[in-house]
Amino acid sequence: MVENAEFRAGHYRLYKHELIEAAFVNREDLLSFKDCFELVKSAMSHKNYILEEAELAKLKGTDMEMMRDFSEILWENICEDPDKMDKLMKIACSRNSTLVDLVNEEIVPGSLEYYVMFFVGDPMKMDMITKTLEPIPLCDRLTDPEYQNIVKEVRELMDDKLYDRASCYLMRSLPRIVKKGCDPSEWYFDYLEACSYDSANRTIPEFVDSDYKVHMEIHKVKRRMNRTVMDSAKMAAGDSNGTALATVDESEDTCGRICRPQELYKKYRARMLNDERLTSIPDPEPIELRPYQEELVEAACRGVNTIICAPTGSGKTIVATYIIRNHLQEKRDAGEPARVAMLVPTVPLVEQQSLALNRYLRKTFWVEGMSGSEPIDIDGRAPFVLASHITIFTPQIFINLLKSIRKDDRLYFNDFTLFVFDECHHCDVLMRMLHDYNGRKPQVVGLTASLPLGSGRANVEAALDHMMDLCAKLSAHSISTVRKHLRSLQEHVTPPIDEVRNARRPRFDPFVLAISNCMTRIEATLRKELDNIRKALQLRPDEVSFPAKTENRYESFVGALKSRISTDMPGGSVKYQLIKMLDHLGYYYRTLTLSDVLPNSYAYEYLANKVHNEAIPSDVSAAAIQDELRRLFRNYVIPKELQLLENDNGESKEIIRLLHDILREQYDKEPLSRTIIFVTTRLLAEKLSEHLNNCRIIGGGPRAIGCVTSSNQSSSFNGQTAGVQRQMIEDFNTGLRKVLVATSVAEEGLDISACNLIIKYNNTGSERTLIQRRGSYRFAHLSRIGLNSRSILLALDGSIEKRELENIQKEELMRLCLKHIQTKSEAQMKILVEEKIKEQKALRETAMAQRKERRDLLTGRSFDLCCRLCGAFICKSSDMRVACDSQYVCCDPTIWQRIETRVHSNSKALSIATLVGKPYCKGTKECVCNEVLGTIVRLYGAFLPTISAKAIVVDDKDERGRMKDEKKWETISREKFFIEPITERDLKLMLTALLDYSKEMHCVFEAEAQMVAERALADAKRERKRGVRYTIED
């Protein structure tokens, strides 16, 4: 504190009142600072005091009011000057010796570095905080015993209306608190957390530390680890560094376990719901099943594994809730423990289904949602699941908990007695694990609107076989559909009438011709270069033959060619030129697709932005190709010559005219209609809604038409935040917006409550999306108020219409297959499903035998894997493992010493693992390398470096001097050496290795993994401005 004068002065300012009381006792004390009187005189002039020095000398000690005012203003003029503050401190301490001990009371080093944060960047930062701080809300949250003396004193000062004094006392006292068993910095994070929960103090954490969220998350991880280490019975006696974490014992036989009862974990239930608040929660709503819903639940309520197939909008959530409640109640009545896992495909559905189930099960059974974004408790995630009767998971988080090596996160199949799959075609990985499990298995219920038929299957036998595949995956001996109560179903779910309308492209369009000419010229230049490199890259003739510019596969062709060049071609100006030309072909193709369905001005705007906003490289040869491509654009795409008009309504194009006519006709006849227009891309959704609003196609003002796009993209990529998304849908449901232009996001579980017209705008999907789009909006609701429902495909391309007709045929095929299955008894179905299960098991065993044969063939082969750039040793081939079928990871504990690890700039959740960082090669003694070797992922509780095949070379020691450069792990593992699947032992080894090497880095990655989940949910959390709305038909 002595070393930094500004920090020392800032610290003294927290003792303002004590210093003033001790130092400014009489006029002589004030006169010792007479060099500041001119400033004080100016400040006090509004009080009409005459403060010449001669007059000041006549001040009487009894004039207390003037003394106080003068002291306060004198303080304000000296408090920022370190020298004057030292002088003041000296005077005060000479009068009050206890002040020396009070001000200089020790702050331990681990706390001091965080206390300094309040002064870094601006010496007056702490003063600004104390002037705006609201201490009482913080006192309400600082509940630990160590804080109570401070809290008591602050409350007393606040009661006496000494607000500034209370704030100063709080801020100088907290750094001296060291909580038992905690890091000395604990007070700092407790303080920031308390501020973040209060609206008056919420801006303080970011003011103190702009990255406070990251640092708080890292601290939470450290706190959890320290507690786990202290409490762990398995902590190694010789672990002097305290890095051990409690892990599962892979040798333990868990198959014979019973379901762990909730009573053992009650304390982990939501702690904010005390008994008083729990009694204030409304009773659960009754479940009243319609006749067709009673038919759907019948098999599941008998304990049979079943797939419930019913149209979206028929109330499958109600059906699932009834089955869950019936299952749990029967187990409770029998005195047996029971627990349900409900699996939903997306993060938003975790919260949506949690709220929906709570509506009918609250106060009777405990419901939790687990998407991975929840704050991790000191005791891990598993106890919160075990405390619940029903937990809603995404498959990713559930699989991670079932395979976690950390004891406090580990769940087992026998902890559950019922699995409910929402959209059960997403069940493959989890059900494969369940089939391989030898213990008692839970009952399985699948929910779906459409059973899969497989790609290209056009006959009943093949489609039936595919359906039986799904039944076998779920071990479902029954498919529950509505047979007896079809009339009841039809009364509540009214399918729309399907229409297909064709449109033709304009015979002559100068803009389209100009774009095509540009593409032709670029293709011609590319062909010459591709002919030169085709052999070197081993490109087949069909991989360099450009398809027609109007074909849907054109963009994927360009993307595949670009990927091959990026991956397989060595760097250089030629590679850059090829990639840049392919980029421009992509721009031009997307321009053509926009021109097909929008006025040309929108397509031109897109293309001009892409071409003009490209960064110009510093390399001369690289810049030359960009100049040439820009020149091509300027010479051919000329707005004046191409008659691009901003106010063009686009009706010269038949497809746009048909869209306008359909909307005008619909809203002239039925003004209360709700319409969803499905399009292929986010960009098209945004531009089409803008165009329709500009043309005022329907009444309701310039914002009658909105758009809904995916929330997993940033707004710069035409994505939407979940808040904007939900507000748009709420406006649509309430009638503020009459039309929504949507990408496929609207069929992914978002609650769109009413729609009576669907327009597929030159866009179709699979038979499953056809069924979902027609069923997922509440046609029944609008039918009851006299609105007819329709589904229209506007097809510009013959292939679009063809695909739609194929989907309709497949939908009919599904009905035929279901009708055939319904003729089978439950016993017959069980035999068929068991046969299919045996068939699938035989296929898995054959694949395992083939892997064993390949392993035996490659046994004993050992290679060094070295950095492609500098040749530094990375690891042995025997240290490589494969995880999740596609992640190739290094399980050498010493690898952390040979790589530099950094947090990934685009951390995100993968299918099972979570991407958190990147490993960089440290190089050799001769050179520093810094080559990216792959990624760092969190998998089943451990952090693992994945190694990219493109980043390494295989050093064959048996063939001196030969180093093999391969591009794919599949090739390496087939030809060079066998890569074993990862085991629990490997995971535990790598977990311990990183902790031993750098506990700090482990905590950083752990925090990053948690923030990935929080970011995924940030756009999915419900901002309920008008309350949560759920319809029974949801």
What one-character-per-residue DSSP string does 378-416 give? TT-SHHHHHT-SEEEE-HHHHHHHHH-SBTTT---GGG-
Phi/psi region, residue 940 (left: phi>0; alpha: psi -120 to 50; beta: rest), is left
Query: In which residue are the tokens 């046969």 written?
Result: 835
Tens of pLDDT along 559-603? 889 888 877 777 778 888 899 999 999 999 999 999 999 999 999
What CATH number is attached to the domain comprising 608? 1.20.1320
What confidence category does residue 237 fall into, taking pLDDT thresholds of 50, 70 and 90?
A: very low
* Cα 542 to Cα 539: distance, rounded to the nearest angstrom: 8
| Same domain as 459, residue 326 | yes
- In the DSSP assignment, the letter for residue 424 is G
Tens of pLDDT along 406-460? 888 899 999 999 999 988 777 788 888 898 888 899 999 999 877 766 655 556 7
| Same domain as 112, residue 204 | yes
791 token code pair: 């589904």
Closest to 1011 (Cα-Cα) out of 920, 887, 905, 934: 905
Is the pLDDT assigned to residue 328 strictly greater than 90? yes
Range of 902's domain?
A: 860-997
| Same domain as 767, residue 669 | yes
User: Model-level pTM?
Assistant: 0.69
Q: What is the mean pLDDT of residues 907-934?
A: 85
69-83, 178-192, 287-301, 851-865: the lowest-pLDDT one = 69-83
- 295 CB burial (10 A radius; 0-12, 13-18, 19+): buried
Q: What is the pLDDT of residue 640?
A: 66
Residue 49 included in any domain: yes
Q: What percent of the chain has pLDDT over 90?
A: 33
Query: For 382, what's the count of Cα atoms within 13 Å in the CB-facing half-sphere?
Result: 23
Sequence-ordered alpha helix ranges (H) in 891-1030: 969-975, 984-997, 999-1018
Tens of pLDDT along 126-157? 999 999 999 999 999 999 999 999 999 999 99
Residue 706 included in any domain: yes
Residue 790 included in any domain: yes
Listed residues 222, 248, 278: the one ending a domain = 222
* Phi, psi for 790 (deg, rounded to 5): -140, 155
Other C-beta atoms lying within 10 Å of the C-beta of residue 1025: 9
* Cα 567 to Cα 799: distance, rounded to the nearest angstrom: 32
Listed residues 795, 812, 829: the one ending a domain = 812
| Same domain as 214, residue 308 | no
Three-state SS at 918: strand
* Cα 233 to Cα 229: distance, rounded to the nearest angstrom: 9
* Phi, psi for 964 (deg, rounded to 5): -95, 130
State the first-to-last Cα distance of the chain, in angstroms, to the nearest integer.
Answer: 63
- In the DSSP assignment, the letter for residue 228 is H
Tens of pLDDT along 792-841? 888 886 656 566 666 666 677 777 778 878 788 888 888 988 899 899 88
Q: What is the mean pLDDT of residues 241-247?
A: 62
Q: What is the mean pLDDT of residues 642-661?
A: 85
Contacts 24+ apart (CB under 8 A), 727-731: 727/1023, 727/1025, 730/1025, 730/1026, 730/1029, 731/706
Please say whether the beta carbons of 287 and 325 come within 8 A. Answer: yes
| Same domain as 662, residue 625 | no
* Cα 733 to Cα 907: distance, rounded to the nearest angstrom: 35
Q: What is the pLDDT of residue 80?
A: 85
Is the pLDDT assigned to residue 711 strictly greater than 90? no
* Cα 131 to Cα 135: distance, rounded to the nearest angstrom: 11
The radius of gyration computed from the CA coordinates of the chain, to the nearest angstrom, equals 35
Q: What is the pLDDT of residue 958?
A: 57
* Cα 156 to Cα 137: distance, rounded to the nearest angstrom: 14
What confidence category does residue 957 fall into, taking pLDDT thresholds of 50, 70 and 90?
A: low
What CATH number is attached to the domain comprising 969? 2.170.150.30
Residue 738 included in any domain: yes
* Cα 22 to Cα 116: distance, rounded to the nearest angstrom: 26
What confidence category does residue 653 fall into, taking pLDDT thresholds of 50, 70 and 90?
A: very high
Cα–Cα distance list, 492 to 48, 392, 672, 1033 (Å): 83, 27, 20, 9
746 token code pair: 């609207």
| Same domain as 986, residue 937 | yes
| Same domain as 345, residue 428 | yes
Q: What is the pLDDT of residue 620?
A: 76
Q: What is the mean pLDDT of residues 364-377?
A: 80
Positive or negative, the CA dihedral 58, 61, 66, 72 is: positive
Q: What is the pLDDT of residue 961?
A: 46
Closest to 833 (Cα-Cα) out of 418, 441, 464, 437: 464
Q: What is the pLDDT of residue 190?
A: 93
Q: What is the pLDDT of residue 255?
A: 79
Other C-beta atoms lying within 10 Å of the C-beta of residue 421: 27
Q: What is the pLDDT of residue 731?
A: 84
Q: What is the pLDDT of residue 1019?
A: 45
Closest to 761 (Cα-Cα) out of 791, 798, 793: 793
Rounded to the nearest integer, the mean pLDDT of the chain is 81
Q: Tell me how far the alpha carbon of residue 447 is from its chain's centroid.
A: 25
270 token code pair: 């939501």
Query: In which residue are the tokens 């579980």 written?
Result: 749
Q: What is the mean pLDDT of residues 652-673?
A: 92
* Cα 568 to Cα 541: distance, rounded to the nearest angstrom: 17
Other C-beta atoms lying within 10 Å of the C-beta of residue 852: 11
727-741, 812-826, 841-855: the lowest-pLDDT one = 812-826
Residue 488 included in any domain: no
Residue 67 included in any domain: yes
| Same domain as 703, residue 663 | yes
Positive or negative, the CA dihedral 145, 150, 154, 157 is: positive
Residue 1006 included in any domain: no
Q: What is the mean pLDDT of residues 51-64?
A: 47
Q: What is the pLDDT of residue 783?
A: 45
Q: What is the pLDDT of residue 424?
A: 79
Tens of pLDDT along 83-119? 888 888 888 888 888 888 899 898 998 899 999 999 9
Range with top average pLDDT, 198-207, 261-270, 632-641: 198-207
Positive or negative, the CA dihedral 590, 595, 599, 603 is: positive
- In the DSSP assignment, the letter for residue 247 is B
What confidence category does residue 371 fall into, taking pLDDT thresholds of 50, 70 and 90?
A: confident
Q: What is the mean pLDDT of residues 618-635?
A: 84
Closest to 893 (Cα-Cα) out of 841, 821, 945: 945
Residue 645 included in any domain: no
Other C-beta atoms lying within 10 Å of the C-beta of residue 105: 11
Please say whether the beta carbons of 845 and 829 come within 8 A. Answer: no
| Same domain as 615, residue 695 | no
| Same domain as 474, residue 362 | yes
Please say whether the beta carbons of 352 and 272 come within 8 A. Answer: no
What CATH number is attached to the domain comprising 328? 3.40.50.300
| Same domain as 348, residue 430 | yes
Listed residues 636, 667, 690: the one ending a domain = 636
Is the pLDDT assigned to residue 643 strictly greater than 50? yes
Q: What is the pLDDT of residue 772?
A: 52
204-213, 492-501, 700-709, 983-992: the lowest-pLDDT one = 492-501
Please say whether the beta carbons of 54 and 41 come within 8 A. Answer: no
What confidence category does residue 310 fall into, taking pLDDT thresholds of 50, 70 and 90?
A: confident
| Same domain as 415, residue 526 | no
Q: How many domains does the chain have?
A: 5
Q: What is the pLDDT of residue 721?
A: 63
